[in-house]
Structure 1
Amino acid sequence: MFARVTLLEIDTLRIDTDTAVHVFESEVLPELRQQPGYAGVLVLATAEGAGTLVSFWDTAEAADASGTTGFYAEVLERYVTIFKSPPGRGRYEVAVAELPASTAT
């Protein structure tokens, strides 16, 4: 399993963190679920606007594909006004994963 990690900062003068997370859940997540090899996502956020998205993928190729298919760039372009600066991104092999059961509503 592989992970794509995106580090970002929300411009909280334009949108609060809770609203940005809701936009991700309602608009981006359904599209993300349609990407080949998608295996899940963690969204980490602070009230101050710092955030980390960790998306999980079956293969390295699937993890990298959103960059080559244009999906990632299209999503960034669509929501560019909510970021303070362009997000950073990297790919990692998942060496250990022990996640708690989700408590999200």
Structure 2
Amino acid sequence: MRIDTSTAVRLYEDEVVPELRRQPGYAGVLVLANPEGTGAVVTFWDTAEAAETAGGTGFYAEVLEKFTTIFRSPPGRGRYEVAFAELPTAGVPAPHP
């Protein structure tokens, strides 16, 4: 089953983000998409340990399992540290409860 990008983002926001918010150390997320239907999800954590813990609890595997049918290519995972950031403070929709 393939779905359009806006539907995939809405599913992620409705089904995954509430679970992310329950993970200790979760600090935020960026969901990036392009017109060709590819994208990336960048999650932010208070510490590297919090990110590893969330990945080790099965949370990451559960998310992949839930959304595996909508991926156009196999998902990947990497760990990076923020070396520089300048993020917008206005014009970004606030998360809804």
Letter in 2 for 1:74: E
SS of equivalent to 2:80:
strand
Q: RMSD of aligned C-alpha atoms?
A: 1.4
Shift of 1:102: 4.9
Q: Distance in 2 between matches of 1:54 and 1:100?
A: 16
TM-score of the two chains, using structure 2 as the length reference = 0.87
Cα offsets for 1:26-84 (capped at 9, x unmatched): 11111111111000111100122110111100111111122210000001101110012
Q: Which residue does 1:72 correspond to in 2?
A: 60
Return 5+ residue gaps in structure 1 as ranges.
Answer: 1-12
- What is the percent sequence identity of the aligned residues? 70
TM-score of the two chains, using structure 1 as the length reference = 0.81
Q: Which of 56, 59, 76 is equivalent to 2:47?
A: 59
Stretches of 4+ aligned residues off by more than 4 angstroms: none
* Pairs within 5 Å for 1:23-102: 23-102=11-90
SS of equivalent to 1:79:
helix
Query: When the two structures are aligned, how many residues end up with a matched partner?
Result: 93
Return 5+ residue gaps in structure 2 as ranges.
Answer: none
